[in-house]
Amino acid sequence: MATVIDTSAVAPTDRAEAIREVIWRQVVRVEIDHHPVPERISAVGAITQLGSLNICSVRSNATTVHRTPPLAGDDLEPSVFVSLQLSGSSMVIQGGREAVLNPGDLALYDTLLPYTLVNPEGIHQHFFRIPRAELALPPRAIDRITAVRLGRENPVADLASTYFARLADSQRRLGGHDSLAQPSIELLRAVIASRLGDDRLAREALHTTLDRRIIEYLRAHLAEPDLSAARVARAHHISIRQLYSIMADAGLSLASWIRTHRLEECRKALAQPDARHQTIETVAHRWGFTNATHFSRLFKQAYGKTPREWRELNTPGSRG
């Protein structure tokens, strides 16, 4: 679900603080230099979380944004921002480099280091925050690419610019489509590898983080009945044999992992007061179990009680 930003409904004297509060809480901690006249402060936009991808679209007359050294040391998960210029121009300053952006240009900057975003004509951009761990590139690659203009003369950057613009424009209709995060991140990884002229970076990063990305994929699609080895392998461009090998190297069994985590979600749901009006079969189906009898048998094997006994045990007033 998108959070809408619109300062027109906020008293002028409260607008700067209202913008600061929502940006600090949902995007990143930064200091924003607004127009000196409170009545002239204006910002509209939306913020959406798609899995590990945070999207912030803003149109504002704020002039300068600072991630100061103290703020760069906060507890935000280390992340990389991608900014997409929509109109006008802006400048990204980080690590002794300056990137001037025009419409369609992309630029990256790192939350672990101070940066400044200069917007002399106001902000009209989409911002995408991606955890560095998800981007899965070595620090040296990120250091080389921050505050570097990624223009549309590069065909991969051109593709990414169009894709990210459409993704942000559709963000309010994409709530719950968390599976879009991974292909978005892989596209950005390709842009960086292309710009640095080193495709090996992307390949190495993909290989070394494959087991973790598979687990995140499983979590994102856990409730879907058709979650299978073939589907997981296809989503990660590997064979089913490779998938089983990767899981084994991580000390995991694919089927056992899916079954265990589905059962745990059902166990939690059956103990919730707001789920008591739902049948046990409904809860089981919601978490990917298509056969109620089979589900009950697995549940008792795992927890020593049938789903009905577990629900009764967690019902207020139960003698259990």
Bridge pairing between strands 3-6 and 90-94: unpaired
Name the more confident of 54 and 215: 54
Over 80: is that where the pLDDT of 60 sits?
yes
**pLDDT per residue as tens digits for the range 157-196:** 998 999 999 999 988 777 667 878 888 888 898 889 888 8
Q: How confident is the model at residue 62 (pLDDT cuts 50, 70, 90)?
A: confident
Predicted pLDDT at 316: 66
Over 50: is that where the pLDDT of 117 sits?
yes
Write down the H helix ranges in the chain. Answer: 15-26, 69-72, 132-135, 139-145, 155-169, 181-196, 199-208, 210-220, 229-235, 240-249, 254-270, 280-286, 292-303, 307-313
At position 177, the amino acid (one-letter code) is H
8 Å CB contact between 46 and 175: no
8 Å CB contact between 27 and 54: yes
Please give, one letter per residue, the 3-state secondary structure of 55-120: EEEEEECCCEEEECHHHHCCCCCCEEEEEEECCCCEEEEECCEEEEECCCCEEEEECCCCEEEECC
8 Å CB contact between 61 and 35: yes
What integer best gives the mean pLDDT of the chain?
89
Over 70: is that where the pLDDT of 49 sits?
yes
0.75 exceeded by the pTM? no
Q: How distant, in Å, are the alpha carbons of 111, 150, 262 from that of 53?
A: 15, 20, 24
Q: How confident is the model at residue 320 (pLDDT cuts 50, 70, 90)?
A: very low
Over 60: is that where the pLDDT of 115 sits?
yes
